[in-house]
Structure 1
Amino acid sequence: MRKFEMIHSINEADQFIQSHSLVLLYILRTNCSVCHALLPKIQQVMNRFPAVACGQINADEVEEVAKHLTIFTVPVLLLFGEGKELLREARFVRVDEFEEQVLKISSAFEE
């Protein structure tokens, strides 16, 4: 299962997004059961996409992430390409559909 890099500040998040061509950010909260149930499934999916850098932000630890990334609920999955948000999935994520979208986006970046 793929490990996601822990991000502890907005500056770290911005730097992480800017330093990789493709980035997935997974935003969760400590006491969110949906967040913790979904995370291993997303980690499994991301095993197929080694070119995508994966980071994880706990919104309880980095409270300003909600304002900075316009987040109203958790979990949130944000996929960035060249620093721009290309995909946003929130709360109840259909894993198979998410995987298809990541495949399309990552394929476009490989061309």
Structure 2
Amino acid sequence: MNNIKHQIINSIEDLDTCLQHHSIVLLYVSQEECSVCHAILPKLMKLLTNYPHIQFIQVDAKQVTEVVGRFLIFSVPTLIMFYEQKELFREGRFVQFESLENRVNQIYNSIAF
């Protein structure tokens, strides 16, 4: 799992900087007291071992409250995939990993690194 580019963000400015500096980003919006968030994080980390060019950004919605309004987050966890700062898709609350993996794989394989 060492090849995962994982970053925990503590401000909306840091999030904006990450989106500007990385072409493909998976944003994971969670909260500390969310049991679903804690349950899917290891699965996400495992999934992303197959995609070394994806920057994985984790944000706590209660610590960085601006993320909720900026990205219209209605529940946690929420996953948003960006390419060149444009949202490609999002998954919320109940993440279907097979579907998520298919979408990530399709996008990842369509990009020339």
TM-score by length of structure 1 reads 0.95
From 75, 78, 81, give the equivalent of 2:80. Answer: 78
Contact 2:31 2:77 in 1 (8 A): yes
CA distance in 2, matches of 1:3, 1:80: 15
Deviation at 1:64, TM superposition (A): 1.4
Q: Which residue of 1 aligns with 2:95?
A: 93
Coordinate RMSD, CA, aligned: 1.3
- Residue 110 in structure 1 maps to residue 112 in structure 2: yes
- Segments of 4+ moved more than 6 angstroms: none
**Paired residue total:** 111
CA distance in 2, matches of 1:46, 1:59: 22
Contact 2:6 2:57 in 1 (8 A): yes
Q: Which runs of 5+ in 1 are unaligned?
A: none
CA distance in 1, matches of 2:37, 2:112: 30
Identity of counterpart residues, as a percentage? 41
CA distance in 1, matches of 2:38, 2:53: 24
1:50-87 deviations in Å (ceiling 9; x for gaps): 01111100111111110011100000111100110001
Map 1:26-105 to 2 at 5 A.
Answer: 26-105=28-107
Q: Which residue of 1 aligns with 2:19?
A: 17
TM-score by length of structure 2 reads 0.93
